A = this chain, B = another copy of it.
Amino acid sequence: MKILVTGGAGFLGARLTRELLARDTLAGRRIETLVLTDQIEAPADLKADKRVESRVGPLLEQCRALVDEPFDGVFHLASAVSGECEADFDLGLRSNLDSTRALLDALRACTDRGAAPARLVFSSSVAVFGPDAAVPMPAVVADDTLPAPQTSYGTHKLVCEHLIADYTRKGFVDGRAARLMTVTVRPGRPNGAASSFFSGIIREPLAGEESICPVAPEVSHPVSSPRRTVQGLIAVFEATREAFQGRMAMNLPALNVTVRQMLEALEAVAGAKVRARVRFERDERIAGIVANWPTGASAGRAARLGLQPEQDFAAIIRQYIEDSAATPAALKGMQ
């Protein structure tokens, strides 16, 4: 089968691609081709695989060519992140809404010409819920909690969920949406996401660097490891339509932790000296965005697919350390 991964050179896209290449099959079929679209080149290890084709350029432009290219499956991960969308309203609309619409219309054009509807997994987000002080919302958001996004990013994700559901209802695609929790620990440098510090306060101290936490230690948040998130995306791809119970979107499993619990886990895994590298310095812009996010999430439908969150945050830190073993420089702070 031929698979498209948008945002395929990014952190999650590359990890997903590696996992798919290792499995070699998806939903019981052999993976012949994996097309990765992104703004940047795919990592060298992926490009070295004969099954992988890396295409560089804005998704909106790339979609125009896709009307003649049927895919069996699509993982649609490409997205402008929350901080970017708040800073640049037009960029957000173009990257998240217009690009998804163009992708859906390209897939639909293929179906119109007789191709089987592509199975599509859309990476939605827990940010769809986005309560603020004025909106009654449970502390832990469930699959069937009424969303009230308070960011453009969350709005776009929710809007795309509904567009995908309608294209699916019409038989143009076979779509489903997985609401990702905040993925941590991400390697590399901070990015434009308001949630970036949820990785930074672990990653930088482990690398011997100081890290600033822009929110209070009491802030609670639903997180997931990269490994569980990739597992979730694949499980949602392979799920039956019935598992969604008539809806197209499903929360992925969350570990609901406070910043304080994250730092306690950091101390337990790497020592007090490492933890001491985190300094609290409130950032009103970041804290304001995070205050409009849920403090926790549940994932009943995902549990029925056998998906579970990590047992505790220490397990997530250990996973990061294990994954970084190939590049030990990232962990020099632990010595």
List chain A positions with a Cβ less than 8 A from chain B: 89, 132-136, 144-146, 148-150, 152, 155, 158-159, 162-163, 165-166, 169-170, 245-247
Q: Which residues of B contact A246 (CB under 8 A)?
A: 132-136, 148
* CB pair A163 B155 closer than 8 Å: yes
Known contacts A155-B162, A159-B159, A162-B158; decide if A135 and B247 are in contact (CB<8 Å): yes
* CB pair A152 B135 closer than 8 Å: no
Q: Which residues of B contact A148 (CB under 8 A)?
A: 165, 246-247
Across the A-B interface, the 10 shortest Cβ-Cβ residue pairs: A134-B246, A135-B246, A155-B166, A146-B146, A159-B159, A155-B162, A152-B166, A159-B162, A144-B146, A158-B162
* CB pair B162 A245 closer than 8 Å: no
Given contacts A134-B246, A148-B247, A150-B169, 13 further A-B contacts (CB under 8 A): A89-B170, A133-B246, A135-B246, A136-B144, A136-B245, A144-B146, A148-B165, A149-B166, A152-B166, A155-B163, A155-B165, A159-B159, A159-B163
Bound Cα distance from A159 to B134, whole angstroms: 21
Q: Which residues of B contact A134 (CB under 8 A)?
A: 245-246
Known contacts A158-B162, A162-B158, A246-B135; decide if A170 and B149 are in contact (CB<8 Å): no
Find the B residue at minimum CB distance from A153: B166
Q: Which residues of B contact A135 (CB under 8 A)?
A: 245-247
Enumerate 17 A-B pairs (CB-CB under 8 Å) in ascending A order. Answer: A133-B246, A134-B245, A134-B246, A135-B245, A135-B247, A136-B245, A136-B246, A146-B146, A148-B246, A148-B247, A149-B165, A152-B170, A155-B162, A155-B163, A155-B165, A159-B159, A159-B162
Closest chain B CB from A17 CB (angstroms): 31
Closest chain B CB from A90 CB (angstroms): 9
Q: Which residues of B contact A162 (CB under 8 A)?
A: 149, 155, 158-159
Find the B residue at minimum CB distance from A152: B166
Find the B residue at minimum CB distance from A249: B148
Find the B residue at minimum CB distance from A148: B247
